[in-house]
A and B are shown apart, each in its own frame.
Chain A
Amino acid sequence: MGDGGGGRGGCCPPMDLFRSEPMQLVQLIIPIESAHHTISYLGDLGLIQFKDLNVEKSPFQRTYAAQIKKCAEMARKLRFFKEQMSKAGLSPSAKIMMRGDIDMDDLEVKLGELEAELVEINANGEKLQRAYSELAEYKLVLHKAGEFFYSIRSSATAQQREIEAHSISEESVDTPLLLEQEMSTDLSKQVKLGFLAGLVPRVKSMAFERILFRATRGNVFLRQSAVEDPVTDPVSGEKIEKNVFVVFYSGEKVKNKILKICEAFGANRYSFPEDLGKQAQMITEVSGRLSELKTTIDVGLLHRGNLLQTIGDQFEQWNLLVRKEKSIYHTLNMLSIDVTKKCLVAEGWSPTFATKQIQDALQRATFDSNSQVGAIFQVLHTIESPPTYFRTNKFTSAFQEIVDAYGVAKYQEANPGVFTIVTFPFLFAVMFGDWGHGLCLLLATLFFIIREKKLSNQKLGDITEMTFGGRYVILMMALFSIYTGLIYNEFFSVPFELFGPSAYACRDLSCRDASTAGLIKVRRTYPFGVDPVWHGSRSELPFLNSLKMKMSILIGVAQMNLGIILSYFNAKFFQNSLNIWFQFVPQMIFLNSLFGYLSVLIIVKWCTGSQADLYHIMIYMFLSPTDDLGENQLFIGQKTGQIVLLLLALVAVPWMLLPKPFLMKKQHEERHQSQLYVPLQSTEDSFQLDTSHDSHDHEEFEFGEVFVHQLIHTIEFVLGAVSNTASYLRLWALSLAHSELSSVFYEKVLLLAWGFNNVIILIVGIIVFICATIGVLLVMETLSAFLHALRLHWVEFQNKFYEGDGYKFCPFSFALLSEEDD
């Protein structure tokens, strides 16, 4: 893997992305009158990360707490509008039209007015709606109860006519229904018969009836009839199925009981005239009022819709404005206020390249706010570790995120992201080598890339969002998969003779022993990739296993070497010669004298076609290095070479372990000594020096701790060299699994279905094949190959050089603001 092109320090310009941007700690002293403008312009620029200088103050004690409260109030109003809009089925127009500058105070007033208006409209609308549903219920009662009274009355009169002199009890039931005059005669008996009519929810009607019966000891007469369509309940505003009821009772006490029960059951009562003429009159009156109310409500709704539409047009703009304003005050709250209360002091990190832009912004702010005094910009010196900032574009950002997910790079350390851009998709493709599947991936990702502009403004689902974010990673993965697929010569597991004829042929014309002794190589090696003849042959698996296993080791050793080489660039960059001589060099020697040697052996074996057993060689290189190699000898002087390599590897271990801690101790002591004898400098300077050194140098040099740390590091590397090499064998395992799975689907589904000579079976077979290919090979295998490639990068590659203990640069930026909230 490309060792070339790493950040070669002096001779070349610094490589983009290889080191994080140089940062500086800056101090801004801003006059209070131009503070708002300044922060707003810096937010537009988005290249400065403010430090919170008021950590000890609670949010309420800070200078601009009141303004933040005001902004929060405005945000609440906006949320209210949004809620109302979504209820009304409107969505705020996506396009943001900037209609000049809107003053925050004006906006506040306007929002307040709009909210009041909307609340009033809503309240009125609710009132009207309630009246409307009440009337509607009333109308229902009039209808149903009227019908009921009518039927009772007709049956009663019929009964009376037929059966002449009969029970008084029946009469007494009928009396109140018949005539009011008769009721008045009953008054003398102190039994007042009355009735109530109303609606009760259908689910409660049974219980209602029972309770009524019990409470009055059966002295009621209840009639119910179901209303077919659900009725809007005036109180809750929901549609409920209801029954109309009429209940007859006698006595004032019972009436009170019934009223209470009605209340408890949420049964709405309505006055009901007994007189038929009055009923008809009421019905027409109610219908008239209903239609009147309906038009009123419609007009109200239209008005509300219009109001919401106007709000919706400007909603996004206002929302953005309010959020900006809030973030500005948040930032202002992080600044410390001067004793004279005339200026604010800000501290923050910014990339050095942004100095000019920041100064420009400060100047513009001073000018625009008509301030007498300009803001002061100065760079502070600090020993604090600056944040890590990589300038990524839409292509590189996804790869950088892969690295950041493991750990954010230490300030200015070599960024594995540079190589990850190529090696990550490459390792993925080694496991996913099939150019048919690669093409499918390519089409899927091209769909995302072509519709990039449209999709980036949309809200996507979780999984789609993730795929969309990684579209360029998937693009690279697809391209490399197509390449490795061509190398493996697999197109949905089918080989093609794309690059000339196979190198193998039968031994003789009859081809008798093709399936026993095998074919023979007659031409030059197949020029590109795996010979198609291997596919489906009995020796396919042994051959591919041997090939892929060795390939995994070769690729692994190359990538680990690249990792160690990057540690050299790190050491050189931070001018740490200890790390070069006592870490980089012995590590290189150790890894290459064992696994580098193994790689050489593999290549030599291939080139010479020797039968030597590499396991045997490697094992006996440790067990008995002085023994004769015999038939396993691959080249002359191999035994001596092996002994030398073994000795080098053995020497490399203490070389890694011992000198570094002692030298570090010596260095520390020297520094300490020289500091003790430093002549006293001018007072102010030495003061500053002292404060800066306090935290750094005066701390005790814990030799034990350093030694244990080095011991762990050494053990980790030595064991890691073995286990990491073994870990690369996952390349072999996954690529084997992938090709076996796809050939199983091809043979056992597609070819089997084809063999039946039946259209329906063929169609089913094709459908199953497509589903299996998409579900298992394209989705699950992609995921697993992705995860394994991820692991190989995070663990096997990055542990050779990457510290990853930095923290990310999070600038104060309006552009990032909108992403955050959504």
Chain B
Amino acid sequence: MGFFVTTLIFIVTGIIASFCARICCNKGPSANLLHLTLVITATVCCWMMWAIVYLAQMNPLIVPILSEGE
């Protein structure tokens, strides 16, 4: 799975989560906006974390050197 496919998965997950929040606790437009913000923030945080780790490993400058014992 490449970078964009996984990113797409994150986006889809975010959208599904937003809809879930909308359907499960529909408490008026103000509360819904809050829930949407929370879901988006959480998705962006998670995606960022993943993306950073993924990008860092894409073109490795350092490679794993196994310990002597192994």
Contact = CB atoms under 8 A, between A and B. Distances in A.
Interface string B37-58: 1101111111011101111111
A184 interface: no
A528 interface: yes
Helix, strand, loop or mixed for chain B's interface? helix
Contact of A554 (B30, B38, B41, B48): B48
A529 B46 CA distance: 11
B8 interface: no
B64 A12 contact: no
A300 interface: no
A534 B42 CA distance: 28
A690 interface: no
Interface stretch (A201-209, A421-429, A785-793): A421-429
Contacts of B36: 5
A519 B63 contact: yes
Contact of A538 (B1, B33, B40, B66): B66
A140 B52 CA distance: 88
Given A1-B41, A515-B66, A527 B48 contact: no
Given A422-B38, A534-B64, A16 B53 contact: no
B58 A4 contact: no
B55 A515 contact: no
Contact of A524 (B2, B30, B48): B2
Interface in B18-33: 29-31, 33
B37 A430 contact: no
Contacts of B50: 487, 528-529
Contacts of A540: 64
Which 6 A-B residue pairs are closest in the complex by CB-CB distance? A609-B59, A2-B41, A5-B37, A13-B29, A518-B65, A518-B63
A520 interface: yes
A692 B37 CA distance: 39
Contacts of B60: 521, 609
Nearest to B45: A426
Interface residues of A, number: 63
Contact of B37 (A418, A504, A558): A418
A569 interface: no
B49 A536 contact: no
Given A515-B70, A524-B2, A423 B41 contact: yes
5 contacts: A2-B43, A504-B64, A517-B65, A519-B65, A609-B58
Contact of B40 (A4, A426, A517, A603): A4
Contacts of A58: none
Contacts of A503: 57
Contacts of A1: 41, 44-45, 48
A531 B64 contact: yes
B34 A16 contact: yes
A538 B70 CA distance: 11
B62 A539 contact: yes
A407 interface: no
Contacts of A611: 61
A497 to B, nearest CB: 14
A514 B67 CA distance: 8
A555 B48 contact: yes
Contacts of B43: 2
Contacts of A4: 37, 40, 44
A524 B46 CA distance: 21
Given A1-B48, A13-B29, A18-B34, A547 B56 contact: yes
A739 to B, nearest CB: 14
A525 interface: yes
Nearest to B60: A521
Contact of A527 (B6, B37, B49): B6
Nearest to B49: A487
Contacts of B66: 514-515, 518-519, 536-538
Nearest to B1: A527
A514 B65 contact: yes
A483 B45 CA distance: 11
Nearest to A500: B1
A691 B67 CA distance: 80
Given A487-B49, A528-B6, A531-B57, A521 B63 contact: yes
Given A422-B38, A422-B41, A536 B53 contact: no
A270 B46 CA distance: 87
A542 B61 CA distance: 11
A100 B68 CA distance: 82
A49 to B, nearest CB: 23
A283 interface: no
A421 B21 CA distance: 15
Contacts of B57: 503, 525-526, 530-531
A606 B58 contact: yes
A551 B60 CA distance: 16
Interface string A415-440: 00011011100100010000000000
A516 interface: yes
A1 B46 CA distance: 9
Contacts of A810: none
A539 B61 contact: no
B61 A550 contact: no
B57 to A, nearest CB: 5
Contacts of A517: 65
Nearest to B30: A16
Interface string A575-613: 000000000000000000000000000010011110100
B65 A515 contact: yes
Given A14-B33, A530-B53, 4 more contacts: A1-B45, A426-B42, A515-B70, A551-B56
Given A1-B44, A607-B58, A16 B65 contact: no
B31, B42, B62, B64: most-surrounded residue (chain A CB, <10 A)? B64
A533 B64 contact: yes
A18 B60 CA distance: 42
A1 B37 CA distance: 11
A606 B44 contact: no
Nearest to B31: A16
A546 interface: yes
Contact of B55 (A419, A534, A606): A606
A648 B50 CA distance: 32
A40 interface: no
Nearest to A17: B34
A484 interface: yes
Nearest to B55: A606
A2 B45 contact: yes
A519 B63 CA distance: 6
Given A5-B36, A606-B59, A515 B67 contact: yes
Contacts of A539: 62-65
A14 B31 CA distance: 9
A603 B41 CA distance: 21
